[in-house]
Amino acid sequence: MHGVSQTFGSVRALQEVDFVASSRAIHALVGENGAGKTTLMRILYGGLQPDSAEITIDGSPVHFRTSAEAIRAGIGMVSQHYSIISELTCLENLMLGAEPSWALNKAAAERRASELARQMGYSFEWKAPAADLSPAGKQKLEILKLLWRKAKIMILDEPTAMLSPGDSDALFASLKQLAEQGATVIVVTHRLPEVVEHCETVTVLRAGKLVASKAVRDTNLMELAELIVGHSVATSSYEALERRETLFRATGLTVKGYRGDDAVKAADLEIAEGEVVGLAGVDGNGQRELFQAIVGRAKVKAGSISFAGSDWTKRPPSERLADGLRLIPEDRHAEGVIDDWSLTENAALGLQRRHGFARGPLIDQKGRWAAAQHIADRFRTKHGGLNAPMKSLSGGNQQRFVAARALESETRFIIAFQPTRGLDIDGTALVYGAIREECRKGACALIVSFDLDELIEQCDRIVAICNGSVVQPGSGLERDRAAIGRLMVGAT
Amino acid sequence: MAIDTGLLVVSTVTLSAPLVLAALGGLTSERSGVMNIGLEGTMLSAACAACFVGLQTQNMWLGLLAAVVVGVVLMQVHGILTQAFGIDQIISGMAINALAAGATSFVNKGFLTLGVTARPVLLPKQFFWIAALAAVFLIGVIMNRTRAGLRLSAVGNDPDKSRQMGVDPIAIRYLALAATGLLCGFSGALIASNAGSFTDNMTAGRGYIALAALIIGGWRPWPTLIACLGFGLIEALQLHLQGTQLAGASVPTEFWTSLPYLVTLIALAGLLGKNRAPAGLGRP
């Protein structure tokens, strides 16, 4: 791939990036969140149309308009969240999109599937629904899907994000085997130990630009880390918190999911004053339901929620907001802002009864304007005037605005779901810095994220959620990547 | 109260066949992830087309063709509204129903003022019975044993992941909706054939009952057939039991007439807990 550029709106996601990978090797593509790794790979896979790019495979130029074309050219991609459809069986998932003929011969397909699995040393219950698979099982099925499609170039985006360390090693052993058989394996990751241990070449991206491309044996962990961040890395240090008064407490909390089963099962969670607690877990393990129950939108089936001595279990959201609850929701369009309203009007959402926004039953126009100004300035939201509609802002700027609003007035408890979605490194630092600041002043925070590394970096303590149960890592392991990773996938 | 079993069987089959065809139409659409409450309007329009083309041309095959064309066109409109323009699938379905009710009534009035009294020529209902049974079998095979069926349910469960696997969800949904139109066309033509001529709102909520049967059948063809037969039986019983006495008391006709709808309500309420709905239903 040569001279790849891509812009989203006014953001330059990739600028003149070159990327070369040869067969029979594992290549690593590394960089921070938002460096453009996934964008580059989606272009190769036909999922995005670049502004400019020259892509050649085996010396001949190619141009993919859809993923289907890329698949036909022998490119396979395993995305971070997998593309396995839970409602189909393992065999159906394996075949989907690459069925041998219009009529499905399931017996023959199963024979070929088992043969492929045997080559890789896997075994599968082909007729079982894919929903029963563990994350490691899904990853194995994804690899078999690549083989089923006879992919010669295999792209794996953050393949170990949902795997325990043991499963990760097994995965790389499989990838090595595939590379030895002639495949070109590209691994997108931000875990450097994996790169040093398992890969042959590494390409580093930073803020959409190519920083380095070299053989792994010519570099080391520290050098890579510096290349990625752009300056030498200081190991982060945290001031130890003395245990203070518990503000938020959920006891035996059970919440029904939309399919009728219990999505959160007897969860216990305590957050003390000044604490930033991370909730780590693989997507779909009950995080949403827990979030909804805490903000007061989902009914609590059993157990209780309390905050600073007042029982929240049955309280309406408005009273929880009055107690100081502030949220940064997952989907800002659905839950955070009203697209057609101005920034000023959006500034008051959820805070409309607070001092500074209202004077009795009347809107405090001046106060609201001042607050909107403050909210917009806080995280340097780029906007075209406070009267412009919210939808005129880019996604990242909307997120800055929503995050700043949650921290605007009388904040006592911040609950954030993927608060840095769509934010660049600068925005991420600003948001977490401000959350930390509020907590220092006596608030507390719960951060839900699917990115364990981000939580480890930003939180005081991390608890895991797996299949609806909230599990606490043992004492001393509150920020231990391996321990929490195991809890996330239900291993003990 | 003596019931003629033979007669009951015949009327059950007569009354369930249009439900079966319409419910299968709903199945192809909903398994692909497109909610479809427009079955009712599509059937009504198809019935209207069958009647008036059958009347004008005096050719039963052209009547069926007209019904199918109208059905397919309406369902493609549903596809364009929901897939290309992203309109809510329920609202689009309601629009189709409203449009069908108005348009068919308008066409009917036009013919009445012209003073046309001849009867349309329509296919015999036995033809449709065979078609309905064949359709259940065919859709069963397509869903379980073909590439088309696999892609259909993949798209219905997770359109985004399907796209990643090189399957085009939009194209599949248009195809699925074409099948829905075809089946609703057959269903409408059968309703016309049962009645012999067109009257306003002659489908009388059968599109919704078909949808209920589809839900009770868990979006699978054979269980849906059984659910449709159940609804047909209730409707047939209703006709046979009107005016009879139950446990010595005379039961008003209205009770029997409301029975199928009551059962629909109870069945839907009771079965909502065991949701087998396609996970991507209603997702753009």
Parse chain B into domains and list their residue ranges: 5-271
Say which CATH class A2-84+133-229 falls into: alpha beta
Residue B221 has a pLDDT of: 93
Q: Nearest CA to CA, how far is A139 from chain B (Å)?
A: 15
Distance of CA B117 to the CA centre of its chain: 28
For residue A156, the one-letter residue type is: L
Q: Do B166 and A66 touch (CB under 8 A)?
A: yes
Q: Which residue in the set B145, B165, B168 is minimally distant from A83, CB to CB?
A: B165
| Residues in chain A whose Cβ is within 8 Å of chain B | 47, 66-68, 71, 77, 79, 82-88, 92, 95-99, 101-104, 106, 145, 259-260
Q: Which fold has domain A246-488?
A: Rossmann fold (3.40.50)
CA distances from A62 to A1, A5, A20, A54, A146 (A): 10, 16, 14, 8, 20
Whether the Cβ atoms of residue A463 and residue A471 lie closer than 8 Å to each other: yes
- By Cβ distance, the residue of A87, A92, A106 closest to B279 is A87
**Which burial class, exposed, middle or buried, applies to A231 when counting CB atoms under 10 A from its CB (0-12, 13-18, 19+)?**
exposed
Structure tokens at A315: 């309280």
B146 touches chain A (CB under 8 A): yes
CB contact under 8 A, A96 and B151: yes
Please give the single-letter amino acid code of residue B262.
L
* Mean per-residue pLDDT over chain A, rounded: 83
Q: Number of CB pairs < 8 Å for A and B?
A: 70
Extract the tokens encoding B194.
């049962």
Flag whether pLDDT at A9 surpasses 60: no
SS3 A317: helix
Q: Which residue among B150, B168, B279 sits closest to A95, beta carbon to beta carbon?
A: B150
CA closest to B163 among chain A residues: A67
Instruction: Name the pLDDT band for B277 (thresholds 50, 70, 90).
Output: low
Parse chain A into domains and list their residue ranges: 2-84+133-229, 246-488
Question: Among residues A204, A230, A221, which one has the least CA distance to residue A36?
Answer: A204
Residues 6+ apart with CB under 8 A from A380: A400, A430
B232 touches chain A (CB under 8 A): no
Closest by Cα among B167, B194, B189, B138 to B13: B194
For A77, nearest residue in chain B (alpha carbons): B164
- Say what the pLDDT of residue B105 is: 92
Gap between the Cα atoms of A186 and A175, Å rounded: 10
List C-alpha distances in Å: B117 to A261, B56, B108, B114. Answer: 59, 11, 12, 9
Band (A53; pLDDT cuts 50, 70, 90): confident
CB B39 within 8 A of CB B94: no
Distance of CA A451 to the CA centre of its chain: 5
Nearest residue on chain B to A81, alpha-carbon basis: B161
Please report how the helices B169-195 and B60-79 are oriented relative to each other, as an axis angle in degrees rounded to 10. 140
Cross-strand bridge partners of residue A27: A186, A201
- Residues B148, A88: C-beta atoms closer than 8 Å: no
Tell me, yes or no, if the two domains A2-84+133-229 and A246-488 fold the same way. Answer: yes
Question: What is the distance in angstroms between the Cα of B235 and the nearest Cα belonging to chain A?
Answer: 32
pLDDT band at A234 (very low <50, low <70, confident <90, very high): very low
Contact A106 B148 (CB under 8 A): no
DSSP-assigned states of every residue in A209-263: EEEEEEEGGG--HHHHHHHHHSSPPPPP--PPPPP--EEEEEEEEEEE-TTSSEE
| Cβ(A79)–Cβ(A42) below 8 Å | no
- The pLDDT of residue B62 is 92
The C-alpha of B213 sits at a distance from chain A's nearest C-alpha, in angstroms, of 21
Lowest-pLDDT range of A185-189, A322-326, A375-379, B121-125:
B121-125
Asked whether the predicted pLDDT for residue B63 surpasses 60, the reply is yes
| Rounded Cα gap, residues B204 and B18, in angstroms | 12
Q: Is B168 on the interface with A (CB under 8 A)?
A: yes
CA nearest to B147 within chain A = A102
Cα distances (Å, whole numbers) of residue B177 to A260, A306, B24, B32, B131: 30, 50, 11, 9, 19
- For residue range B109-127, list pLDDT tens digits in order: 887 776 666 677 778 888 9
Q: Which fold has domain B5-271?
A: ABC transporter involved in vitamin B12 uptake, BtuC (1.10.3470)
- Flag if A68 and B158 touch (Cβ within 8 Å): no
